[in-house]
Amino acid sequence: MSLCVFAGIALPPYTNASIQVQDAKLQDKNKGMMIQIADDIVDLCQKAVDENEAEKKAKTQSGQTLTPAQKSKAVLVTYRNVGNINAETLLSRTRDLKVLYEQLKDLGDDVYNWSIPIENIRPTLNWSGRWGPKDDAMLLVGAFLYGFGSWEKIQSDPRLGLTDKFFLDDTKKGEDSSTKPIPNAIHLVRRGDFLLGLIQEHFEKVKVYESQIISRAKSAYSHSMSPPLAGPSSGYKRRADSPLASAADDGPRKKKRRPTPTFTDSSSEDEWYVLW
């Protein structure tokens, strides 16, 4: 998916594109040109991230120890005089919002009834008022409808039910922010990123599971189509010319007749015998 970018702010054109285009005053611009610019920015960010990873890997392999600051340093790029574009954030948002778009794009008005298909999501901490799973879902639906970061538009949509749950007034300079109710914009960004990450991870696992099921089904089918194995051998190979085989073929064998007794003419008792 491409991103429409205006003044360094990434606006996903997945849903209410007309609203986002009007907000950025891009309605009179060439659509193909905007998509090309968005793709160029994504490519620029990907290149910068890849180069940063390669540089850190080279330092590690040379024996250098990276400090925590070096490991977590943001990768910033500049595009046509628009600076400080966070490459990693832009890439992760592009990926995560695409997953969200795939889940919500065909729901129509039923999108307001959508719920996050994950149980036991980590609750918010110290937020003013009650915030639960329904609010988490509607926060993402609002990002889908109006763009990630369009908190005022999300707040103003009564069907999302978040009207009284955002506190977007900026803290004045020198004012103690600890006494202000939350969430404000920064809390919503963090919560939104957290929820999008969960969605991305969940559906990656679903893809792996479905792939395994398909693989097993194919394996079972291939085994079922294999020729049957030969029956077990009895350990005895019958010879066609053996007497037993012949007898078996001719039916029950007749009992052999005993020989008729034979008498001799000799008077010798030794020679007088009867053969039975």
Q: Hey, how many other C-beta atoms are within 10 angstroms of the C-beta on 58?
A: 10
pLDDT of residue 173 exceeding 80, the answer is no
Tell me the per-residue pLDDT of 36-62, one tens digit each, with 9 for 90 and over.
Answer: 999 999 999 999 999 999 999 999 999
Q: Give the model's confidence band at 221: pLDDT under 50 very low, under 70 low, under 90 confident, else very high.
A: confident
Q: What local confidence, expressed as pLDDT, does residue 116 receive?
A: 95
Beta strands in the chain (DSSP E): 4-6, 9-11, 76-79, 82-86
Q: Decide which of 23 and 158 is more confident.
A: 158
Tell me the per-residue pLDDT of 86-124, one tens digit each, with 9 for 90 and over.
Answer: 999 999 999 999 999 999 999 999 999 999 999 999 999
How confident is the model over 189-210, as a mean pLDDT? 90
Of the candidates 167, 168, 108, the residue with the CA atom closest to the CA atom of residue 141: 108
| Contact assessment for residue 56 and residue 44, using Cβ atoms and an 8 Å cutoff | no
pTM equals 0.66
| Residue 169 phi, psi (nearest 5) | -65, 130
How high does pLDDT run on average in the chain? 79
The two three-digit tokens of residue 203, written as one number: 């559906």
pLDDT of residue 228 exceeding 70, the answer is no
Q: Which residues contact 7 (CB under 8 A, 6 or more apart)?
A: 24, 82
Q: What local confidence, expressed as pLDDT, does residue 270 receive?
A: 47
